[in-house]
Amino acid sequence: MIRKTRPASSKQSRNANEAKARLASHLARAGLNQSRTRDSVVEAFLATPGHVSVEELTAIVRGRGPAVGYSTVYRTMKLLAECGLAASHDFGDGVTRYERALESGHHDHLICTACGAILEFEDRGIEELQEAVANRYGFEVASHKMELYGRCAACVAHGRREGDTGSHPIHGPSPTA
């Protein structure tokens, strides 16, 4: 099954209280204080679908009103990753992106090198094959990730290649435009 990054859902709203409680517990163990600024970053992150960079999240939080610095967002995202509320990814472009981990099950990624689209997919056959390979070698897997890089269907159909500038047929203006 292939899906684009998930939009926010009512389940995420229900998980927001659990996420805040988990973060509060993590902060207490680390001897850190809760703050309204940190809370605004957490709320914005939990409401943001898909994969978001620190730069993008900083702009989102600032758009909601509170003055927040890049370093505050960066440190907050590190804390969220440490306590299992966020998963960090580097899709080969040097930008760390975060996605919600609380309600997200395991999935893998297809990354378009032309437009930057990130598609998530789940495939039980691939998971079973990975388990079989690990078993064959007596290997106990703790975690794994699979990322496939290439061009999405829209970019293939429109002849768009990595580094092209201009507007994407589906995703809009190119990040490099």
Q: What is the pLDDT of residues 153-170, one digit of tens each?
A: 999 999 988 766 554 444
**33 contact partners, CB below 8 Å, separation of at least 6:** 27
Where residue 14 falls among pLDDT bands split at 50, 70, 90?
Answer: low
Task: Give the Cα-Cα-Cα angle 38, 5, 67 (nearest 5 degrees).
Answer: 25
What is the separation of C-alpha 90 from the centre of its chain, rounded to a whole number of angstroms?
Answer: 9
Could you tell me the fold of the domain covering 9-100?
Arc Repressor Mutant, subunit A (1.10.10)
What letter represents residue 106's amino acid? H
Give the pLDDT confidence of 107-125 residue by residue, as tens digits.
788 889 888 888 878 888 9
pTM of the full structure: 0.60
Locate CATH 3.30.1490.190 in the chain: 108-173
Locate CATH 1.10.10.10 in the chain: 9-100
Task: Give the Cα-Cα-Cα angle 174, 53, 55 (nearest 5 degrees).
Answer: 85
CATH class of 108-173: alpha beta
For the chain, give the mean pLDDT.
79
> Per-residue pLDDT for 176 more than 60?
no
